[in-house]
Amino acid sequence: MGRRAREERREEREDKVAKQVKVKRKNNLKAAGILVLIAIIVGYTGYVFVNSDSNVPGSPPNAGRLGDEHEHASLLVRIFGDKFNFGGPSYQIKNSWIHFEDSDGSTIHRHSSGVTLGFLFDTLNIVVGWESIGYNEPFDSSKPVDPCFIFPDGRQFCTNEDYSLKFYINHELVKDIYNYVIEEGDRILITYGSETSEQIEEQLRELDSQILKG
């Protein structure tokens, strides 16, 4: 092989290497640009999450700034003794203010002050309240009422002569929970049926044993 042929082959190899380096540098720049864009999006999303307030469309009424609080409560719902699990995709993170998350169906996360349990159930299309006076109104003991638990598919469980819907907050029987704002460590039981006092105590013990996930 002559000298000229060797030089031509060397130049071809150098050109090939130079092109490979150029392509690699270009790909690295693209990857870096994508990472920067992702970082900007994540940062902006975090900023919006922290700085959003009650004026944002779809936010709860009378809510504080999104992210100003982060409280947790444990919820247990039993209908005729059967436990209802909110861990399915249909009930996970339906809004940023108050929700279930991480496929956990018992821990409620509240991310803003003033957000009620009623708003949580509204976002899940579940009715929990008082049939004859409207679910979004404060409870009025002077009016005859029939508390109901209504699932998104239309199944209704209302207090009647044989069965009753009951609400317990930290072992205390309460009239309604729609306007209640959870506090850290609260334990909330919603139960429907004709349970004896012993059965209610058993459900409350079960509620107390549930792990509160932060």
How many structural domains compose the chain? 2
- Encoded tokens for 18: 């130079």
Q: Are residues 82 and 186 in the same domain?
A: yes
Tell me which of 126-130, 147-151, 161-165 is least confident: 126-130
Mark whether 137 and 201 lie in a shared domain: yes
Tell me the mean pLDDT in the region 104-129. Answer: 95
pLDDT at 22 over 90: no
Q: Identify whether residues 98 and 202 lie together within a single domain.
A: yes
Q: What average pLDDT does the chain have? A: 82
Pairing of strands 71-79, 186-193: parallel
Q: For 176-193, what is the mean pLDDT?
A: 96
- In this predicted structure, the answer to whether residue 44 has a pLDDT above a threshold of 50 is no
Query: What's the confidence (pLDDT) of residue 48?
Result: 47
- Residue type present at position 138: P
Whether residues 107 and 2 fall in one domain: no
Torsion of CA 182, 183, 185, 186, to 10 degrees: -40
Instruction: State mean pLDDT over 114-140.
Output: 76
153 in a structural domain = yes
Q: How many residues does the chain have?
A: 214
Percent of the chain at pLDDT exceeding 90: 62
Give CA–CA dist 58/54, Å, rounded: 9
Q: How far is CA 170 from the centre of its chain?
A: 22
Residue-number span of the structural domain to which 46 is assigned: 1-51
Angle at 129 between CA 126 and CA 134, to 5 degrees: 105
Which of 86, 36, 90, 94 minimizes the C-alpha distance to 60? 94
Report pLDDT digits (tens) over 76-96: 999 999 999 999 999 999 999
Are residues 125 and 201 located together in one domain of the fold? yes
pLDDT tens digit string along 49-69? Answer: 444 444 565 689 889 999 999
Q: Are 72 and 213 in contact (CB under 8 A)?
A: yes
pLDDT of 9 over the 90 cut: no
Flag whether 149 is in a domain.
yes
pLDDT class for 129, splitting at 50, 70, 90?
confident
Note whether 37 and 131 are same-domain residues. no
Cα angle 59-64-67, degrees, rounded to a multiple of 5: 90
Place of tokens 């850290």: 184
Mean pLDDT confidence for 120-136: 75
